Amino acid sequence: MFLTNARSVISGSAYVQQRSRSRCVHLVKMAGSWWRVCGRWSTSCTSTNVSDTLRCFSGMSTGASGSGLSRASWSSGPGNERMPLLSAQTHSTALHLNPLIIRQNSRFLYPTLSCFCRATHSDVKLKDPFMLAQKDLKCLYDDIKKEMFVSKQELKHLCDYYFDGKGKAIRPIIVILMARALNIHSNQAGDLLPGQRAIAMISEMIHTASLVHDDVIDGSDERRGKRSINDVWGERKAILAGDFILSASTMVLARIGNSTVIKLLSQVIEDLVRGEFMQLGSKENQNERFKHYLEKTFKKTASLIAHSCKAVSLLVNSDPDVHEIAYQYGKNVGIAFQLVDDVLDFTSGANQLGKPAAADLKLGLATGPVLFACEQFPELHAMIMRRFSSKGDVDRAWEFVLQSDGVQQTTFLARRYCDEAIRHISLLRPSPERDALIRLTEIVLSRDK
**Domain coordinates of the chain in residue numbers?**
6-111, 120-446
Instruction: Write the DSSP string, 76-142.
Output: E-GGG-EEEE--HHHHHHHHHH-HHHHTTT-TTTS---HHHHHHHHTTS----HHHHHHHHHTTHHH
170 vs 31 pLDDT, higher one: 170
- The pLDDT, as a whole number, for residue 137 is 82
Is the pLDDT confidence value at 151 over 60? yes
Run of H or E residues at 253 = helix 235-256
Mean pLDDT in residue range 400-405: 95
Mean pLDDT in residue range 316-324: 95
198 CB contacts (<8 Å, ≥6 apart)? 252, 253, 255, 256
- The pLDDT, as a whole number, for residue 320 is 96
Residues 363-385: pLDDT tens digits? 999 999 999 999 999 999 999 99
Mean pLDDT in residue range 248-262: 95
The CATH code that applies to domain 120-446 is 1.10.600.10
- The pLDDT, as a whole number, for residue 43 is 29
Is the pLDDT confidence value at 103 over 60? no
- The pLDDT, as a whole number, for residue 162 is 86
Least confident window among 26-30, 76-80, 200-204? 26-30
**Average model confidence (pLDDT) across the chain:** 75
- The pLDDT, as a whole number, for residue 131 is 84
Bridge-based pairing state of the strands 222-223 and 226-227: antiparallel
277 CB contacts (<8 Å, ≥6 apart)? none
Is the pLDDT confidence value at 67 over 70? no
Residues 257-271: pLDDT tens digits? 999 999 999 999 999
Instruction: Write the DSSP string, 290-353.
Output: HHHHHHHHIIIIIHHHHHHHHHHHHTT---HHHHHHHHHHHHHHHHHHHHHHHHHHHHS-HHHH
Is the pLDDT confidence value at 446 over 60? yes
Mean pLDDT in residue range 69-90: 39
Is residue 9 within 8 Å of 110, Cβ to Cβ? yes
Is the pLDDT confidence value at 429 over 60? yes
Mean pLDDT in residue range 248-257: 95
423 CB contacts (<8 Å, ≥6 apart)? 15, 36, 112, 113, 116, 117
- What percentage of the chain reaches a pLDDT higher than 90? 53
- The pLDDT, as a whole number, for residue 78 is 55
Mean pLDDT in residue range 225-249: 92
Least confident window among 149-158, 208-217, 347-356? 347-356
Confidence of residue 359 (pLDDT cuts 50, 70, 90): confident
